[in-house]
Amino acid sequence: MRERITVLIPSYNRPGALAVTLTGLCFQQFRDFTVVISDQSDSALVYHDSSVQTAIRLLEKKGHPVRQLSNSPRRGMAQQRQFLLDSAESPYCLYLDDDVLLEPFVVGNMSQALGEEQIGFVGQALIGMSFNEDYRPQEEAIELWEGPVEPEFITPGGSGWQRYALHNAANILHIQEKLRLTPDMQKKYKVAWVGGCVLYDTVKLRATGGFEFWRDVPEEHAGEDVLAQLRVMKRYGGCGLIPSGAYHQEVQTTVTNRNFDIPRELAL
């Protein structure tokens, strides 16, 4: 029987972080998922790392098949994400960066919310725990969805774009603590986009083009996930979920050249 969710993980030169990410998946309360990893490391594949293999074996022991793919040569993150999307056979696909640690409730809460709303995506903002004591009230404005989530047309610099600041540092952690939210009190809120942990309706993502635009952009680019979400949100709607249980490991970024910012260069 086909699993409800395929977890899609792009990986590049970060076996230690990937092992932590996979370990978080091992202990999810939601069980109906499979995992696909696409590695583009420069030298030895991450699959040669013993910590990564331990986590993979544990996932498989717990009933989660793990596909260990290699995608070379590197042709940019948009192509990498499309490569992963082409491998997804589940109704939902969770794009999870290889440097994110999830609390046990995350995948289940995301699946529940996407099922309730029947929209294009839901996301959990990444929390940087090194910013735990860095309070930024000027960035904590949050707009909760009081009724059903609806499509929104968000453009760079336009109305709603400033929502991105909500996901800086540990802002979302501070808000959920202030609101005293727990995983069984999940709320949906309006977003510009969500990075690092996003659950899509697979059919809806493909219907808006997925990441096929990779052929139209230079190899070095940024914002491919943003453009995909803006297109999905325009047609089907999308939202963030609070409380978040997704933690950024805060390792060095692998996207170093952001001169070509896709959502500012391609049409929505």
What is the average pLDDT across 190-206?
99
Mean model confidence pLDDT for the chain: 96
| pLDDT tens digits, 25-78 | 999 999 999 999 999 998 878 999 999 999 999 999 999 999 999 999 999 999
| Distance (Å, whole) CA 118 – CA 101 | 26
Tell whether 154 is covered by a domain: yes
Tell whether 263 is covered by a domain: no
Sign of CA dihedral 70, 74, 77, 78: negative
| Distance (Å, whole) CA 237 – CA 151 | 4
Tell whether 262 is covered by a domain: no
Which CATH number covers residue 97?
3.90.550.10
AA letter at 164 = Y
Tell whether 264 is covered by a domain: no
Helices and strands in the chain: count of H runs, count of E runs: 8, 11
Tell whether 73 is covered by a domain: yes
Tell whether 265 is covered by a domain: no
| Distance (Å, whole) CA 94 – CA 104 | 15
Tell whether 30 is covered by a domain: yes
If DSSP codes are grouped into helix, strand and coil, which group holds residue 15? helix
Tell whether 258 is covered by a domain: no
Domain that holds residue 119: 5-251
Percent of the chain with pLDDT over 90: 93
* pTM flag (> 0.95): yes
| Distance (Å, whole) CA 203 – CA 218 | 27
State how many domains the chain has: 1
